[in-house]
Amino acid sequence: MRRTHINSNLFIGLLLGLCALYISDGWAQVVDQDTQRNGMHSCPLGRFVVGVHVNRNLLLCSDEFGGYSPSMEVIDRSTQVQGMHACPEGMAMTGLHVGKNLLACAPVARPPIARFIDSSTQRSGMHDCPSGNPVSGLHVGRNLLLCGTNSGFNSNNACSEQAKFCLDNCKRRFPPGSYSVTTRRNFEQCKEQCDMEYFKCTH
């Protein structure tokens, strides 16, 4: 009988790749350690940064905020928001060069997301923004992330738009009229998350 031998290094590499790519809240996220673009560590094209581990040179990248082309990315050297280096309004991070204090930024194709500072959220072994929020700035020395895309959008109208976007996404992922008990339960949980995000936005 003919035996098939699997290269152990190849197997381990495939296993690590599967571990790095996972699903969070219905969206594909990936821990990236080596993608290079614009002269810096970046997320794969079309993904935005949602988490950072500076010491290990890791980025947590998500595809939930719409795509972008390379021509839409800008390199920011000086924008300051809430005491830290940040992307311009309406944009979020796609890459980072800590040594040169550079951010790669791209426009986010969805309703404005109110910006806020996060100091403690953890996911995938790194500091990240709460679910549904891209990273748009950071302060390495103080371990702070600026989450969201726009300053001054904490008005009820902006929060309502964000809540509507969230609820529409829940309906798309978990049709509330489904005969499946699991699907209906997932919809209710998703809706509760939207309600919590709306409460945080308006308070």
| Each residue's pLDDT tens digit, 146-191 | 999 987 655 455 566 667 777 887 888 888 888 888 988 888 888 8
The SS3 of residue 58 is strand
Q: Is residue 13 in some structural domain?
A: no
Same domain as 51, residue 142: yes
Q: Is residue 4 in some structural domain?
A: no
Residue ranges making up the domain that contains 84: 28-109+124-147
State the Cα–Cα distance between residues 132 and 130, nearest whole angstrom.
Answer: 6
E-strand stretches of 1-101: 21-24, 27-32, 36-37, 40-42, 48-53, 58-62, 74-76, 80-81, 84-86, 91-97
Q: Is residue 136 in some structural domain?
A: yes
Same domain as 93, residue 183: no
Q: pLDDT tens, 81-132?
A: 988 999 999 999 999 999 999 999 999 987 888 898 999 999 889 999 998 8
Same domain as 79, residue 45: yes
State the Cα–Cα distance between residues 72 and 19, nearest whole angstrom.
Answer: 30
Q: Is residue 185 in some structural domain?
A: yes
Could you give the number of structural domains in the chain?
2
Same domain as 160, residue 87: no
Q: Is residue 93 in some structural domain?
A: yes
Predicted TM-score (pTM) of this structure: 0.66
Same domain as 84, residue 32: yes
Same domain as 130, residue 161: no
Q: pLDDT tens, 31-90?
A: 999 999 999 999 999 999 999 999 999 999 999 898 899 999 999 999 999 889 999 999
Same domain as 130, residue 46: yes
